[in-house]
A and B are shown apart, each in its own frame.
Chain A
Amino acid sequence: MAKILIVDDSSTVRDEVSTFLKSSGLDVITAVDGKDGLSKLQGDPGIRLVVADVNMPNMDGLTMVEKIRKDLRNTAVNLIMLTTENSAAMKERGKAAGVKGWIVKPFKGAAVLETFKKLVA
């Protein structure tokens, strides 16, 4: 089954999002920052959707998605940002990196579930 990778330095968010998605029948793995996210993605070809925070230690989420998009092995991977950030400049940078969508925290699972399912189908 296609998987969703949740990348967030907050364990509260990782737990909350992954618990919701798993309870909705989706397969989820988690990473604690951008570096960890890249590593998990490279090690698991089943990942079809990455949901990433922006502000994280070691490597921020936008840098991570830019690296993901530059790697031709990841063309089938969809990218969504889940963050407190809502600035136009950051969204532009995300769009330029191939991000498909932007969610401002807090996470409301019901509002995004159907889209997430389509993106991993």
Chain B
Amino acid sequence: MVAEMTSKETLISKVLILEPETGPTDELKAFCDAHQLVGLKVHKDSLGAVLRTNVDLGGILFSEEYGGSPAENARLALLIHSLRPELPLILRLSTHKALEELPDNLRHLFCAGYDIEHIDRLAEAVDRFIFCLIYPNALLRGIAEITIQVLESQFPRLEILRETPSIVNDRVIVGEVFSLIPLESGWCRGYMMLQTKAGSLLDVSGSLGPPSTSANIRIVNDRMSEITNLIWGAFKNKYVGDTSLPRNFQVQVPLIVNHAQKYISFGTENPQLCFGFRLRDPSAGVSLDIHQRFIFNLNWSPEMFSEISQDVDTMIDSGELELF
């Protein structure tokens, strides 16, 4: 059966809006609403701080008028490029007619340009640089269901909130601990990554003391490992099954981790599929954010996606013993 394919009805992407006070705010707001973008307007004085702290971003919409002068605009564009080079930077042209008219040292910073009278060009850029991969709706729903079931089994007392899945282009490592596990099938090859803050994980686990003690390091690592393993297993059972793997199974690319920059690259420019979960214990006043990302860097063939159907008569619930 061909899976229902659409990303934009069920996915969002968070973008920074870098416009002056006099910019076309209403037009851009309407555009964001119509294109599943969550716009975050940023004043230029706080741009550096926002770029250093915001995660799960899909891209940046930058205006030629943002800096107030060509020199300040150039400084800000170079700042963005130095801090977050992986984010698609889309320029709203007002002084120039096309990106090609920009000085050489600035032109390469932008992936696309548009003017407000031709906002369809912005739509093309968003489709090309943010929503460029198609995800089956069944996969989006299934991942969320699987993950919530696992989190409920591991944290039975906690309330679990789920964010709308999003497309992200940043490569930022969130928190102190992350896990990676390969996903291998005939229709996808890549990784699932879980990221979180060690202190928050300890808080919701009821552990005392700082995250740096050897006992707490072990708790954090073991918890992350088990959550990852359970999600991976459920993913395999639901979407991979016993299918044979493709011939190009041996292909790999290096993953690069830059500890100083808290940056991880999977060797592809493809955006990542991100799910966010918040676990809360209102009575104790503690919470835990888990960032779950899917990076299909080695193969993505959603047209071959399928769910494994199980014979209802032979289905066994998880945790039940199936005797042979």
Contact = CB atoms under 8 A, between A and B. Distances in A.
A106 B318 contact: yes
Interface stretch (A26-34, A36-44, A59-67, A97-105): A97-105
User: Helix, strand, loop or mixed for chain A's interface?
Assistant: mixed
Contacts of A85: 233, 236-237
A106 B319 contact: yes
A105 B318 contact: yes
Contacts of A11: 218, 222
A99 B323 CA distance: 9
Contact of B222 (A12, A94, A102): A12
B302 to A, nearest CB: 22
B226 A12 contact: yes
Give the bracket for the number of chain A residues in contact with chain B: 20 to 34
B153 interface: yes
B306 to A, nearest CB: 15
A91 B230 CA distance: 18
Given A84-B229, A84-B232, A101 B242 contact: no
Contacts of B317: 104
Given A105-B319, A111-B320, A87 B226 contact: no
Contacts of A103: 319-322
User: Helix, strand, loop or mixed for chain B's interface?
Assistant: helix
Given A95-B324, A100-B324, A106-B153, A84 B319 contact: no
A10 interface: yes
Contact of A100 (B234, B318, B323): B323
Interface string B181-203: 00000000000000000000000
A10 B226 contact: yes
B161 interface: no
Nearest to B219: A12
Nearest to A115: B321
B23 interface: no
Contact of A99 (B316, B318, B324): B324
A112 B321 CA distance: 6
A86 B230 CA distance: 12
Interface in A45-98: 55, 80, 83-89, 91, 94-95
A101 B236 contact: no
B265 interface: no
A95 B319 CA distance: 19
A13 to B, nearest CB: 7
A13 B320 contact: no
Interface in B200-243: 218, 222-223, 225-226, 229-230, 232-234, 236-237, 241-242
Given A87-B242, A105-B233, A10 B225 contact: yes
Contacts of B233: 55, 83-86, 104-105
Interface of B: 150, 153-154, 218, 222-223, 225-226, 229-230, 232-234, 236-237, 241-242, 316-324
26 contacts: A55-B229, A84-B232, A85-B237, A87-B236, A87-B241, A87-B242, A91-B324, A100-B323, A101-B322, A103-B322, A104-B316, A104-B318, A104-B320, A105-B230, A105-B318, A105-B319, A106-B153, A106-B154, A106-B230, A108-B319, A108-B320, A111-B320, A112-B319, A112-B320, A115-B321, A115-B323
Interface of A: 10-13, 55, 80, 83-89, 91, 94-95, 99-108, 111-112, 115
Closest 10 CB pairs of A and B: A84-B233, A108-B319, A86-B237, A106-B153, A12-B226, A89-B242, A12-B222, A104-B318, A102-B322, A101-B323
Given A104-B316, A105-B229, 8 more contacts: A12-B222, A55-B233, A80-B321, A83-B233, A86-B237, A102-B321, A107-B319, A112-B321
